Amino acid sequence: MASAWGKCGGAAGPSNVVGRVGRLVHEHRGRLAAAARAEGLRPADAFDVVQEAFGTFLKLPDAARLSEAPQEARGVLVAIVRNLARNARRRAVEARPHDSDPALLAGLPAAQPNVEELLGAAEERLRLQGCVASLADLQRAVVTLRMLEELDGDDVAATLGITTGHVAVLLHRAKANLATCMSERSGR
């Protein structure tokens, strides 16, 4: 072969190792790029990893010996490519902005409301208490038992001595009355 690869120097010189690695590049770059792609890299990243793998290969203490054994060299290059590809993929994932994991956020304290939010919530609660107080006694009892104490309809009916259907009607009417009262008291 009278190419530039044949002009790399004597049999024992370091440039001969570069020439043999150059042949390995031409013979195996497609397979090595496929190995990098199989690790989840995009084509451009796979190409970069293959180039880095050959640079790493040349720095190995056994590079000269390995370059004389193409099958062994190929195995070492594949291992280097896979390792570099996994590292590149890991770095890309770490560099990407992460979505918050709800499980991790569950252990963190909730954001504290500001003074304006606290005042607004207090005013809303006072309006709601006034509206609940304006309900008829039976409606107020149904709202208290169903909404605040979270009893089911059967338990509320048994407690108040009325039917479950009547509890549903009273709760529906109470909610409508509360909505009207809240909108009137908020000045809307």
Domain with 137, as residue range(s), is 119-185
Question: Domain for residue 52, yes or no?
Answer: yes
CATH number at residue 138: 1.10.10.10
Question: Domain for residue 174, yes or no?
Answer: yes
The Cα 155–Cα 150 span in angstroms is 10
**pLDDT for position 120:** 85
Question: Domain for residue 109, yes or no?
Answer: no
Contact (CB, 8 A) for 178 and 146: no
Residues 144, 181 within the same domain: yes
CA 35-39-33 angle, to 5 degrees, is 30
Residues 22, 90 within the same domain: yes
pLDDT, tens digit, 9 for 90 and up, residues 74-107: 889 889 999 999 988 888 777 666 566 666 666 6
Question: Domain for residue 107, yes or no?
Answer: no
Residues 8, 72 within the same domain: yes
In whole numbers, what is the pLDDT of the chain averaged over residues? 81
Residues 14, 87 within the same domain: yes
Residues 86, 129 within the same domain: no
Contact (CB, 8 A) for 170 and 138: yes
Residues 131, 56 within the same domain: no
Q: Is the pLDDT of residue 125 over 60?
A: yes
pLDDT, tens digit, 9 for 90 and up, residues 33-59: 888 889 888 888 888 888 898 889 888
Question: Domain for residue 123, yes or no?
Answer: yes
Report the number of distinct structural domains present in the chain. Answer: 2
The Cα 108–Cα 125 span in angstroms is 27
User: How far, in Å, are 55, 112, 126 from residue 117 at the CA level?
Assistant: 60, 10, 14
**pLDDT for position 150:** 87
Residues 129, 77 within the same domain: no
pLDDT, tens digit, 9 for 90 and up, residues 154-181: 998 998 899 999 999 999 999 998 889 8
**pLDDT for position 82:** 93
Residues 68, 136 within the same domain: no
Residues 71, 126 within the same domain: no
Instruction: Identify which has the larger pLDDT, 8 or 38.
Output: 38
Radius of gyration of the chain (CA): 38
Contact (CB, 8 A) for 85 and 46: yes
